[in-house]
Homo-oligomer: A and B are copies of this chain.
Amino acid sequence: MDVKTLCLGLLSLGDRSGYEIKKTLEENFRHFFRASFGSIYPALAELERAGHVVGRAIPQAGRPPKKVYGITPTGHTVLGRTLAGEEPRHIVRSEFLVLMYFAHLLPPDRLAHVIDDMIGQFENGLWADLEQYERTAPEMTPGQRFALGYGRAVVTTALAYLKRHRAELLRDAGGGAPETPVVADAGLAAAGD
């Protein structure tokens, strides 16, 4: 699934500009999808060229004009077919967890900082969740509630895990200081350089 399909899906819920799509993404898809302007604007242009959406420039007082897009019947058909034909993937790519895996190679203060950063990010996300839920809960579809609820459940667990195991990791990982690297296997290491 690419950004094009995502834009089409969002437009199926109501007319929006590229800028507004980005905002919706940040508010509602925070926990599981993100896209930059550099992919949204070209996607919208391509969708318009293909006739799946139509754009209309809206002049605004004291603001740059915005280009609001609406989905066409063709767009609707294509969206339905695309969504139904996907074998959806679920990809997590966490440099954070890789770093934790190699915690013994980090200076203790750095390790603490990285964990606290992650905790902070998750807390912000959760706070934003709550704030957003109160604003939009009534008009949400079951699917939206399901996706948002999933994100909330997972982030809550993740946050609890980090808080529960932070001290333990900090205590136990403090062996391999950066100045005394533990050589795992002398064999090849000695041969090189």
Interface of A toward B, CB cutoff 8 Å: 1, 6, 9, 12-15, 28-29, 31-34, 51, 53-54, 56, 68-77, 79-80, 83-84, 86-107, 110, 114, 117-118, 121, 141-144, 146-147, 149-151, 153-154, 156-158, 161-162, 165, 168-169, 172-173, 178, 181, 183-185, 187-189, 191-193
- In the assembly, what is the distance between CA of A71 and CA of B15, in Å? 55
Query: Which residues of chain B have C-beta atoms less than 8 A from A151's C-beta?
Result: 97
Q: Residue A143 contacts which of B15, B153, B156, B169 (CB distance < 8 angstroms)?
A: B169
A103 nearest in chain B by CB position: B143
A155 closest partner in B (C-beta): B154
- 25 residue pairs from A and B, CB less than 8 Å apart: A1-B99, A9-B98, A12-B102, A14-B184, A32-B94, A33-B92, A33-B93, A33-B98, A34-B93, A53-B192, A54-B188, A69-B188, A70-B188, A72-B189, A80-B105, A88-B95, A90-B96, A90-B121, A97-B147, A97-B150, A100-B150, A101-B143, A101-B144, A101-B147, A142-B169
